[in-house]
Amino acid sequence: MSKVTKLLHTRYRVNDLERTIKFYRDVLGLEEIKRHKSPRGSELVFLKAPESDEQIEICSFPAGGPVQVQPDLTHLAFEVDNLEEFGKHLAKHGLKYSDGPTTTSTGTVFAFIDAPEGYEIELIQRGKSGY
């Protein structure tokens, strides 16, 4: 039986490519891996978190019309060492959590921030017993 073997990337289409890349790079600390134009004219930028293999593909394709992100449609989740310290980092960028931090029964703490274009980002501080 054939099956997939590995998650490679997740794609998000955006209106303002440079503003979005700046957020993922400067606020979240992701690294830009590669950038190119697709054969159909999309501008693509691939990013990854320092300890991840999976990538995020940010796509700009103005010919497809404006992007309108529906509330609570999708989000990306990233692990952080300390949400309190990350909150201070956000404040330096003029940002704050849109929800949380919230502590679960396992000691895991999570919070959300809004990325440009309306995409939601979940930040998770792992509890002593995992997630």
What confidence tens digit (pLDDT) does each residue in 83-95 have? 999 999 999 999 9
- The whole-number pLDDT of residue 25 equals 96
Matching CATH number, 70-131, of 3.40.228.10, 3.20.20.70, 3.10.180.10, 2.40.50.180: 3.10.180.10
Work out the percent of the chain whose per-residue pLDDT is above 90: 82
* 131: confidence class by pLDDT, cuts 50, 70, 90: low
Q: Which of 125, 121, 118, 126 is nearest to 14 (CA)?
A: 118
Mean pLDDT of 96-109: 94
d(CA 91, CA 65): 33
* CA gap 57, 119 in Å, rounded: 14
Task: Find out whether 98 and 113 touch, Cβ atoms under 8 Å.
Answer: yes
Write down the pLDDT at residue 109: 96
Q: Indicate where the chain has its CATH 3.10.180.10 domain(s).
A: 8-62, 70-131
- Enumerate residues 6+ apart whose C-beta is below 8 A from 60: 13, 14, 15, 16, 17, 42, 43
Report whether 123 contacts 76 (CB < 8 A). no
pLDDT digits (tens, 9 = 90+) for 10-50: 999 999 999 999 999 999 999 999 999 999 899 999 999 99
Residue 129 has pLDDT above 90, yes or no: no
Query: Residue 71's pLDDT band (boundaries 50, 70, 90)?
Result: confident
* Domain 8-62 CATH class label: alpha beta
